[in-house]
Amino acid sequence: MMNRFDTLARVSDGTSAPLRAAAFSLWRGGPWFALLIVLDVLHLGQLTLVVFVFAVSAAAKLSRRVGGGVRSPEPGVWLTSARGMWWRWIRRGAPQAGLALSLLAALGLGWWNGWFWGVGYMLAVALAFAVQSVHVSWISRAWRTPEVELRIDEAGVYYPEIGETLPWDDIAEILPRRRGERDMLRLVVGPSPLPGLREACRTGRGEIAIRLGEAGVDRETVVAAIIAARPSLDPSIHPRPVFVQPIEGVYVDQPPSENESSLTAIAAGVAVVAILPN
């Protein structure tokens, strides 16, 4: 059984979340930050600031207004929620918008200002957005129709990122909810032969994280469905072998949210551009 309460595990849990958040924000927000700087050099900083602040705030508010819209055609099956479809559309469309803006800026720099170094710089930014666009297109599933995001039945647990149904015999434990986690379910898995799992789960015992945000279903509902299908996984009847039991929801740090990291990265770029001298 995994022991998450030794010193090294606590240090790892405390540092992995901010490091992953920083890496994700750099990947998503870096090109936007570069684009904002160049547009500020073109003396469009104030207008750009207004547009981006409005876009970021509107996206955040609209995402909260769009209800979870849980779609469950049958017990134990959850499709992509309305909010999940909304964020899927944003993730696919944002790099395309950045690509168009950076190409337009490159055209303006070359045609009106004759700043050829700036043209090369903006083409590099456009290339970064193009790579993001291709990456999102490859990894994104169909985004116009909801898909099965999670299924729990007599065979096991199906999660799209694994690609196959995880048999019940391969699931060892339901981990406690970490502090701040609302849309995450963590399971101890292994050893399992499924190729979609990490090596640690295939060769021994490892941890997998099931994101529930796309489905819009809360963790308690999913845990109840798992216990109903497999009562032996009920955490209350199999306490963890540690001296002090973890309190549900108050243990280690909150992981980075993909959607919140994207908005944070863009908002950070806007804030930096706002203080640049015009």
- pLDDT, tens digit, 9 for 90 and up, residues 241-266: 544 444 544 444 444 444 544 555 55
Domain ranges for the chain: 10-67+83-145+258-275, 148-233
**Rounded distance between C-alpha atoms, residue 86 and residue 1, angstroms:** 39
227: pLDDT strictly greater than 50: yes
Count CB atoms within 10 A of the CB of residue 103: 16
Per-residue pLDDT, 149: 84
Which of 99-113, 119-133, 189-203, 252-266 shows the lowest per-residue confidence on average (mean pLDDT)? 252-266
**Which tens digits make up the pLDDT trace of 141-171?**
555 566 788 999 999 999 988 888 999 999 9
CA distances in angstroms from 261 to 5, 54, 91, 95, 96, listed in the order given: 28, 17, 12, 15, 18
Q: Tell whether omega for the bond before 75 is within 30 degrees of 0, i.e. cis.
A: no
Q: Among candidates 242, 127, 233, which has minimal Cα distance to 185?
A: 233
pLDDT in tens, 34-82: 777 766 666 655 566 566 666 666 665 665 555 556 788 888 898 877 7
- Please report, as a single letter, which amino acid is at residue 216: G
The CATH code for residues 148-233 is 2.30.29
More confident residue, 219 or 58: 219
pLDDT at 234: 86
Query: How far, in Å, CA of 91 to CA of 137, rounded?
Result: 10
CA 126/CA 101 separation, integer angstroms: 8
- Asked if the model's pLDDT at residue 277 lies above 70, the reply is no
Structure token pair of residue 264: 């944070």
Beta bridge partners of 151: 77, 158
